[in-house]
Amino acid sequence: MLKACKSLILLLTCALSMPLALADELLRNDHPDHYTVVKGDTLWDISGRFLLSPWRWPEIWHVNPEIANPHLIYPGDQLDLVYIDGKPQLRLRRGPLKLSPTARSTPWDGAIPTVPLDAIAPFLTRPYVLDQDQIDAAPYIVDFDQEHIVGGPGQKAYVRSINESEQLKWEIVRPGGPYKDAETGEILGYEALYIGSTQLQRTGDPATVFINKVKLEAIIGDRLIPAGDERASASFAPHAPAMPFEGNIISVLNGVSQIGQYNLVVLDRGARDGLEPGTVLRVDRLGETIRDVVTPSSRDTVKLPDEQAGLLMVFRTFERVSFGIVLHATRVMHVNDKVRNP
């Protein structure tokens, strides 16, 4: 009987200590109990105020079904840390809605972004990644009005292979270099650089489009794709991959050679590999292979171990590649460095 009582006490003690252990594992020692969101905050910053590992946000976020768009957080909202059955949870109290001269046209207008918006905004909707079949099937410019050799705003362009008369808005893109799997060399897609925007004026072969605006001058051979939604959400929950994951950095979007905080990178893994906006990955600096110089006669080479270099978050995915932003860097990163579960 005494032995049974001791066993019961031990089980109760373990049951009571488990939530406390979870809180210790999740929460920073200096976490606030309440936090009022201010303009300029990001979800990553707020998560880091409470959590030791900011990508574990879904484990403490409480979704209140009584609040409209409970996954979105706005300046003025208050976050309260509470304990339910001993487990820490963050609850949202919606702050007063401050109407601006323009009302919210989408639910995420005014919501705080997950990561610094000025860093990723130009890449949330452009450039595109197309496969070879998409490039081959895309309409293309064959000439410009009034014998122009390049196209700019206010000009007409003549386009072949536009078969969708109901699609009025088209974007001009220019296929660039291939994105390749770092290990197999397989081509995963091609960057499609955004050139400009057009409006369909007349169908036929060729069709006529009016160029509204350009980022670069259009040239013969540029392709057209249906215009997408220019208002992409920058609010998504940081989280770790659901499965063991490994990939590689294969390119840098803003053209630098040494990668640091807030630089944007391209990964050779995409939606088909389980990545989605908000996925957080650890970056490991690829260990160099060096020659053993201690023994002069030796021709042995040694591969140094990979070393953790920082964290990145995926903010845009395609089928086979993804774009990510480096949020934390402890050392310089380079193309071909590994990305893994944090």
Q: Are 324 and 250 within one domain?
A: yes
Q: Are 73 and 144 within one domain?
A: no
Is 325 part of any domain? yes
How would you class 299 by CB atoms within 10 Å of its CB: exposed for 0-12, middle for 13-18, buried for 19 or more? exposed
The residue among 334, 314, 313 whose CA lies nearest residue 45 is 313
Is 313 part of any domain? yes
Is 10 part of any domain? no
254: containing domain: 246-340
Q: Are 291 and 201 within one domain?
A: no
Q: Are 149 and 211 within one domain?
A: yes
User: Which residue's entry shows tokens 């601006």?
Assistant: 100
DSSP 92-137: EEPPPP---SS--SSTTTTPPPSS-HHHHGGGSS-SEEE-HHHHHH
Q: Are 219 and 250 within one domain?
A: no
* Tens place of pLDDT per residue across the chain (342 aa): 555 545 544 444 444 444 556 577 899 999 999 999 999 999 999 999 999 999 999 999 987 776 777 778 999 999 999 999 889 999 999 887 654 544 444 444 688 999 999 999 889 888 899 999 999 999 999 999 999 999 999 999 999 999 877 899 999 999 999 999 999 999 999 999 999 999 999 999 999 999 999 999 999 999 999 997 766 778 889 999 999 999 999 999 877 778 999 999 999 999 999 999 999 999 999 888 888 888 777 678 889 999 999 999 999 999 999 999 999 999 999 999 999 999
CA angle 84, 87, 89 (to 5 degrees): 75
Q: Are 275 and 311 within one domain?
A: yes
Whole-model pTM: value is: 0.85
Whole-Å CA distances, 48 to 33, 57, 332: 14, 9, 22
Count of domains forming the chain: 3
Which of 191, 226, 261 terminates a domain? The answer is 226
Joined together, the tokens standing for residue 338 give 């590994």
Q: Are 217 and 301 within one domain?
A: no
Query: What CATH number should be reported for the domain holding residue 312?
Result: 2.40.10
Q: Are 260 and 195 within one domain?
A: no
Under a CB-based contact definition with an 8 Å cutoff, are residues 303 and 289 in contact?
yes
Is 121 part of any domain? no
Under a CB-based contact definition with an 8 Å cutoff, are residues 324 and 264 in contact?
yes
